Structure 1
Amino acid sequence: MITDVAVGHELPELVVPITRTMIVATAIASRDYQDVHHDPALAVERGSPDVFMNILTTNGLVGRFITDWAGPGASLRKVAIRLGAPNYPGDTMTLAGKVIANYNGVVSVHVRGVNSIGAHVTGTVTVTVMKGGR
């Protein structure tokens, strides 16, 4: 149970292939119509080598990473992330996490997502588990 997890516990990594389809579909799903997330030519014109993932997709992937580990009863209480290196098509992001606090079952995890360029996302997520959860 995550309520018993020790500070220092490392979460299993989540490897996420970054595809053009994922970048475009998740930008549209989150109603982010900025051209840099779906139009390669305009992304290049604006100084990027290609389209890149939006922050809402990153937020969703971080949430998935935590809830996959914590189980179906998990409830995200706080997500505080910062973006770094962009996620471009054809790359892979590996999410890793480490428990940094556990106070009466309110667990804080330091999260880091790295791609071939460097750290795409870093931050802290606080999660609890509802009764009947993991």
Structure 2
Amino acid sequence: MTVRTGDELPPLRIPITRTLIVAGALASRDYQDVHHDAEAAKEKGSPDIFMNILTTNGLVGRYITDHFGPRARLRKVAIRLGAPNYPGDEMVLTGQVTAVAEGTVEVAVTGRNGIGHHVTGKVTAELPTDGPGTGDAPGTGDAPGTGDAPGTGDGPGTGDARKRTTDSPATTDAPMTTPDTPR
């Protein structure tokens, strides 16, 4: 896969359902009643329950890893919420590559719903440059046990993300290639 500054990611359409809103809040241990109790949300001035930021953060991360493949690692997610996501609406995520550096890519992400911009921000991801599973589709060597599973020393919670995080990578407009790039 070759990645260049200016590349646009295909849109991802996400139906906003009550189940998604409530499940996202519960999964992230956000028990605020405005995320699961419509009457309480209305008492607090909202027309209905609404999605929490942690669910939005997860959907933005999914958008990036769905595009760049399961071995892409999120290194920085900086988002801002705008118009709430209410049940019955649809959020459409779009993205554009804003920078490519050695082994990393920065993507400006926008999520729109029927009211306006739900989320805007930038995501920096580290892309694999060698080894199995550098493709962007399942079944390319990314099965559990290939180094991405928790407990293998390079999965979530192992501390390796702190060692590789940088907020100011050098950028270039040169394309970045992976072993999947045709030669």
TM (norm. structure 1) is 0.96
Counterparts of 1:8-47 in structure 2, within 5 Å, are 8-47=6-45
Q: In 2, distance between residues paired with 1:17 and 1:129?
A: 28
Aligned residue for 2:49, secondary structure, equals coil
The yes-or-no answer on 1:49 pairing with 2:47 is: yes
Q: How many residues align?
A: 132
Q: In the alignment, which of 111, 114, 124 is matched to residue 112 of structure 2?
A: 114
- 1:107 Cα offset (Å): 0.3
- Other-structure match for 2:62: 64
Unmatched runs of 5 consecutive residues or more in structure 2: 136-183
- 1:105 Cα offset (Å): 2.6
- 1:81 Cα offset (Å): 0.3
The structure whose residues are more often strand, as a share, is 1
Unmatched runs of 5 consecutive residues or more in structure 1: none
Q: In 2, distance between residues paired with 1:129 and 1:7?
A: 15
Greater RCO, CA 8 A, separation 6+: 1
Q: Which runs of 4+ in 1 moved over 3 A?
A: none
- 1:42 Cα offset (Å): 0.4
Q: In 2, distance between residues paired with 1:8 and 1:105?
A: 17
Q: In 2, distance between residues paired with 1:56 and 1:31?
A: 10
Q: In 1, distance between residues paired with 2:109 and 2:53?
A: 15
Q: In 1, distance between residues paired with 2:50 and 2:71?
A: 32
Q: Deviations over 1:81-108 (max 9, x none)?
A: 0000000000000000000000113100
**Counterpart contact for 2:16–2:89, Cα < 8 Å:** yes
Q: In the alignment, which of 114, 125, 128 is matched to residue 127 of structure 1?
A: 125
Q: In 2, distance between residues paired with 1:100 and 1:22?
A: 30
- Other-structure match for 2:148: none
Bigger radius of gyration among the two:
2
The structure whose residues are more often helix, as a share, is 1
- Other-structure match for 2:73: 75
- Other-structure match for 1:88: 86
**Counterpart contact for 2:105–2:127, Cα < 8 Å:** no
- Identity percentage of aligned residues: 67
Q: In 1, distance between residues paired with 2:13 and 2:103?
A: 27
Aligned residue for 1:62, secondary structure, equals helix
Aligned residue for 2:9, secondary structure, equals coil
RMSD: 0.8
